[in-house]
Structure 1
């Protein structure tokens, strides 16, 4: 996942998890630390700071704008922020139900895989032509 999507996914999933009483202290602390670092990068952008503090559903609604703000401010180039975002997602995956909290938003993907439990039915898939990697 590219850094900008990693950061937005971590913010969204972190907001969902941190709102739950069952969230571990480590998850809440990592989420707060991530928000603090990102808000420092957005020091002169009140809208971007507000977006970092937004509810998960509001982050999703304005995801494109938030991604633009992240790129403009160079947040996606900050190794400390991307490492902390990945650390948060890793911590979330370790929690019961954590995998369900995380939603990955990946663009320009030719094939994607997902896992889970339960029954599934897939039909009507047809592929024509060939693809060539860029």
Structure 2
């Protein structure tokens, strides 16, 4: 995942989480910090993002962040990581195999196989 993809994913996840009553103040604060850092980096380019079709908004945001030099903005990247870490459930990670993405909880796991069509035999003594 590139830095720009990280920021776009964090903004989308934060917007979704912020719409729920379950979002805690830490998530809301982290989302606002990310939005502030993104606006600062975009420097007026956010108008094109806001006017984009909702389905294309992520791609437009990625284009504008790239053009604005977001890959060099450590504050912006840090804010995205903080928000995504807050949204991740304890013990949960994401695994990407091919084009499919799986969420797995590996707490107390002894034998793990992830993906379609997996066959696994484990012998634990």
TM-score (norm. length: structure 2): 0.68
Q: Which has the higher helix share?
A: 1
| Alignment partner of 1:12 is 2:17 | no
Aligned partner of 1:114 in structure 2 is: 102
1:86 positional shift:
0.6
| Structure with the greater alpha carbon radius of gyration | 2
Deviations 1:33-82 (A, max 9, x none): 1001111122232424637xx9xx92x53222211100000123200110
Higher relative contact order (CA 8 A, sep 6+): 1
Q: How many residue pairs were aligned?
A: 107
Task: Write out aligned runs for 1:7-86 (5 A).
Answer: 7-48=7-48, 50=50, 58=54, 60-86=55-81
Question: Could you report, residue by residue, the CA deviation over 1:65-108 in whole angstroms, capped at 9, with x for unpaired residues?
Answer: 2111000001232001101101100000137xxx7xxx99x9xx
Q: Which residue of 1 aligns with 2:120?
A: none
Q: Structure 1 residues 49 and 63 mapped into 2: Cα distance closer, same or farther (>3 Å)?
A: closer
Match of 1:131 in 2: none
CA contact (8 A) 1:14 1:88 kept: yes
Structure 2: unaligned runs, 5 residues or longer: 106-113, 118-125
